[in-house]
Structure formats: structure tokens, C-alpha cells
Chain A
Amino acid sequence: MTRDMSYEGVMSRRAEIMKKAVGIDYSEFESGSISFDYERMMRETGYSLQEIEEIQSRTGVGNTPILELRNLTKLARKFAPMGKGARIFIKDEASNPSGSFKARRAATACYHAKKLGYKGVIAATSGNYGAAVASQAAMYGLKCIIVQECYDSRGVGQPEIIEKARACEAYGAEVVQLTVGPELFYTFLIMLEETGYFNASLYSPFGIAGVETLGYEISMEFREKEGRDPDVVVVTNAGGGNLTGTARGLIKAGAINTKIVGASVSLQGLHMASDTEFNKKSFTTGHTGFGIPFATWPDRSDVPRSAARPLRYIDRYVTMNQGSVFYMTELLAQIEGLERGPAGNTSLVAAFKLSQEMDEDQIIVVQETEYTGAGKHINPQLTFARENGIEIIIGEPKDEVPGKNIILPRDPSYITLTELDLNKTRKSYIRNAVNNIKATKVTKDDIDFLVKDTKSNIEFVKEVLDELEIEY
């Protein structure tokens, strides 16, 4: 019997392929309606924090240094009111084996794949996660395939993504490179079916649990050094896993008063699946093109139920322009002596600005850095932008139009953040949750779930349901 390999044919086998490739029967946690048992899924399919610490330490992942950015703090205070300007710290995740915090997610995924007897792992990623999975697969003797969205129809690729392909190959992985389009998922499914490898999804319970150690370490280290938890932790947000894992780790440490701020680069106006706009952006991750869709509908990921649910944990969500992140990356090298990749510095821009509204004795932490190198550096990225018709301007960041220009702030006082109305995001999420199953009525369980999944309250959820004319 030959299998139907057409787009529709393969997509219709999606659930079956995924079940085999992730080793989780998600239906066990489903209620049959909107709600599902998130915490039980995390508990029963994931690992405990102690187990993960052990798994990660075996491959040199985690326990990265936390550095105080004294010069950047001093600079922030120059532009802050008297007595304001919280101390800024950064967790140097670039010192993980593959150069980013993604090693934490990959470590648990590959450990799990090996334990379950899979011969190899596959991940669909154009970012640091590819190198992370390839590196961990090398350590475990697993075969590895990375599927990337890399080129536009002219065959022009983002330098950052091409560098990631190189890194994956350096670790012995096969890299499959595709042009723009969400049908990457189709190719991904074909490969999972053909090879029988493990889907090292970014959104599995093991992947997210792998990030919990990051939040836990932050709390432990600050208690040791400063005698208390940090006031704010800023997380660059894309698919939501970094934020979810870090927040869960902080909660597991008991750091319940630490506020979680999400930060994304604003790519408003650019369509992520557009062939002609693909190379008009200068950030391939940590931007609103992922951040907003994944916050308002986490289950759009490559597993039936995503373990990354950022609205459960986020207290505040800010965005900024591309130019400010490039500026901050240069500043980090120039006044702190740390040359790191741009993507991780999105939250640093946020921290620089937020610090100025906090008291001097408060602490704000940026929880990641990433490696830098050819392609993955402000210089090649700005060169690439210019070659694709993007103007580079020194001026007012607020005037930046993604796809048209990149505006570097004239001086530090020009850095501004845009506050996202989280209630609007929560509303969109509830609408999606309802529409996705075409519900006309929801259960009490569903309401409880929606309250938790949006970190809101019963009144808020009921108000939104009323607006949507959904019975409960």
C-alpha cells in the first residue's frame, strides 16, 4: 500500500504522526472541550526540576554566570529621575554549549529521545534551537535533522539563519533548507514519518521544563548574593517557551513576587509568511510576528497542546523597534565588554528603560544572551538590511517602519517602549480558544482553565464570553 504523500494526505495524518514522534498521548489530558489539564501534562510527561538539573549538568548545560551591568546601570541613571535606576543584571546564557539558553530545551528533549530508544531527533527551527538540538544530539549519539525556513524565492537567505545552518552542520546534523511558507510543517511531517525520529519540539513538556532551571537558578543566585529575589525578570518573547519556563522555575523557587516582563521587537506590518517581506526584517525571532500569535493561540505550535503558555505567567508585555536592539547590542560590547548576538538583547533594551522607572536599590534581570559570529552579528545584519533596501537612520526610534527603515536612537534618552494592552491579548486568546472548537457553550472547567491560562479572573473571562455571546 502506498501512502498518500500529497499536502492534504500528509496533513490528515498529522495527529497520528505526532503521537508516534513525541511519545505523548495528548488526549489523556483533554477534557473534550476548551480546557485540558496543563499541570498534569507537565507533571506526568515532563521531569522534576531536580531530574532536569541532573540531565543538564551531565552535558554542561546551565549554571551560567549572572553579570551585573554596572556601566549600563550608570548610564540608565543619567536619564532617570533622582533615586531611580534599578541595578541591571544579565544571565550569560551564551556560555551554554551551543551558545544560547536553547541548550536547556534541547538537553531534556534529546535525553528523553535517547531514553525512549529513538534513533534520531528532528526539529523545525531557523533559530538557536537548531544548533542546540544538533549539539545535544551529538553528545547522545543521536542522528539529527534540522528543518529551516531560510530563503525567499530569489534564493536569498537571512545571514542569521545561514549561520545557524552552518552551526548545525558543525555538530553533524543534516540541514534541510526551505523557502518561505508555513508548509514547512508538511516537509517536517514527511521527515518524521519517513525516519521515525523523535520530534524535538520546542513546545513539548520536556522542552519547557528544560527552561525551568533558568528561572530557578536566577532566584537561587540572587538569594545567595543579594539576599533576595530580583524585582523584575525580563524575557525576550517569541513562541512563549522562554517566558513560560523561566516563570515556572521562579515560581518553583518560591520567587512569587518577581514580576515577569515579556519583550519583543515590533515587526508590525510585516507578514511572516510573505515571500517578498521575508528578507525585509532584521530579526528572525523575538519579534511580535511570533510573540503575539503564539500568545493569543499557543496551540498553533507543532504539538497538539503547547507547554508554552505565556499568558499564564506574563505580568507586562513591552515592544520596541529594531534599531534600539542593534543600538543596545553595540552598547553592551562598548561599555560592558560583552560582545553577544542581537536577538537576546531585546529584553536588555526593555530592562534599560524599565530600570529608569524603578528605585535604585531594586534589581532587574535580563535572563539571556546568545552567541555572536559571522551572520549573527549587528554588522552583517545591518549590511543585509541595507542590501535589501532598508534605510539605516540615526534618529527617533518611534518613527521606524519595519520593512522600510531601521532607526538607531540618537542617544540613550531616545529609547522608548510600547506597552501592550494585555487585556486585549487575553481577549484574543479567549476568542481563539472558543472559535477553535466552534463552541457555543463552555463548561465551568473551561472557565477555570481560561482564567488560569490568561492569568485573569472569572469576571474578566465571563465578560469576554458575554461579548462573544457564548453560553456558560
Chain B
Amino acid sequence: MDARRGDWVRIHSVVLEPKKRAAGVPEDTQNVPLEMWDKGFLLDDSANIGDKVKIETYIGRIIEGDLVEVNPYYKHDFGKAVPELLYIGRQARELLKEDGEQ
């Protein structure tokens, strides 16, 4: 069992199947479903990842979807080193130096 009632979870659902996408959407987008993710407190007594579950969102809406994550958290960060940026500051400081400055 992955989650119990009251746990903070993330769910997933399909809003529109590929063949139901709006007209005029590019072909690559037509070929994939419109998917949705949301978070909330689990309302089922218990559930496993992949189960269809009911949740109450933070503001109190009751919605359904497939359980994908328990205690979801953010993983975005400050990225990796981008050495290409390093010349910018040094070059500008050099250019701004007054004549005769070391």
C-alpha cells in the first residue's frame, strides 16, 4: 500500500483523448492526449500508485484521477554549470575600465 486516507498526493488524468483534440491543433499535438495533473488529500482509505482515486484539493474541490505520487515535491533547481556565461561579466568590467585603470 502506497498511500493512506489524508495523505498529500498527486493525481493524473486524461482530459481529451488523441482523437478528441480540437481542430487546428498541430499534428504532433493531435496524436497525443491532453493530460492533467493536480494535487490533494487522498479520500480513499488506501491506494497504490496507478489506482483510480478521489482527492480533496488544497482549496477543497473533490476530483478523481490516477494516483502517481505520494508527498510530491518540486525538483527544479539552479541548473548545471553554464561556462558559456562566464565571459560576460569579465568582458563588460574590462570595457568599463577608465583609461589608465588597472
Contacts and interface: CB of A to CB of B under 8 A. Distances in A.
A120 interface: yes
A78 B22 CA distance: 52
Contact of B91 (A166, A375, A378, A411): A411
B38 A175 contact: yes
Interface string A146-185: 0000110101000100110110010011111111111100
B97 to A, nearest CB: 11
Contacts of B24: 182
Contacts, number: 161
Given A166-B74, A181-B21, A331-B89, A380 B79 contact: yes
A183 B34 contact: yes
Given A166-B76, A173-B59, A275-B29, A183 B21 contact: yes
Contacts of B76: 159, 162-163, 166, 374-375, 380
Contact of A394 (B38, B87, B95): B87
A153 B25 CA distance: 14
Contact of A378 (B26, B61, B85, B92): B85
Given A175-B38, A183-B16, A374-B76, A273 B82 contact: no
A276 interface: yes
Nearest to B32: A153
Contacts of B15: 178, 183, 186-187
A210 to B, nearest CB: 23
Given A330-B85, A374-B77, A181 B59 contact: no
Interface in B1-52: 15-16, 20-22, 24-26, 28-29, 31-40
Name which of A71, A173, A330 has the most chain B CB atoms within 10 A of its CB. Answer: A330
Interface string A366-397: 00000000110111111110100000111000
B57 to A, nearest CB: 5
Closest 6 CB pairs of A and B: A383-B79, A334-B89, A380-B79, A375-B76, A153-B32, A379-B79
A375 B77 contact: yes
A380 B82 CA distance: 9
A408 B89 CA distance: 13
A196 to B, nearest CB: 12
Report, as a range, how many residues of chain A touch the other chain: 35 or more
Contacts of A384: 79
B17 to A, nearest CB: 10
Interface of A: 7, 71, 74-75, 78, 120, 143-145, 150-151, 153, 155, 159, 162-163, 165-166, 169, 172-183, 186-187, 194-195, 271, 273-277, 326-327, 330-331, 333-335, 374-375, 377-384, 386, 392-394, 408, 411-412
30 contacts: A75-B92, A151-B37, A155-B35, A166-B76, A174-B39, A174-B58, A177-B37, A178-B37, A179-B34, A181-B34, A183-B21, A183-B25, A187-B34, A187-B36, A195-B61, A274-B26, A275-B29, A275-B32, A277-B28, A330-B89, A333-B89, A334-B88, A335-B89, A335-B92, A374-B76, A382-B79, A382-B82, A382-B84, A386-B82, A411-B91
Contacts of A381: 79
Name which of B20, B21, B25, B29 has the most chain A CB atoms within 10 A of its CB. Answer: B29
A377 B21 CA distance: 33
Given A179-B35, A271-B26, A392-B84, A75 B95 contact: yes
B76 to A, nearest CB: 4
B69 to A, nearest CB: 11
Given A177-B37, A412-B92, A379 B78 contact: yes
Interface string B56-87: 01111100000000000010111110101101
Contact of A182 (B25, B58, B61, B78): B25
A71 B39 CA distance: 46
Contacts of A153: 32-33, 35
A74 B16 CA distance: 54
A178 B34 contact: yes
A49 B33 CA distance: 45
B92 A334 contact: yes
Contacts of B25: 181-183, 273
Contacts of A331: 88-89, 92
B89 A394 contact: no
Contact of A334 (B21, B78, B93): B93
Contacts of A145: 59, 61
Contacts of B36: 176-179, 187
A186 B33 CA distance: 14
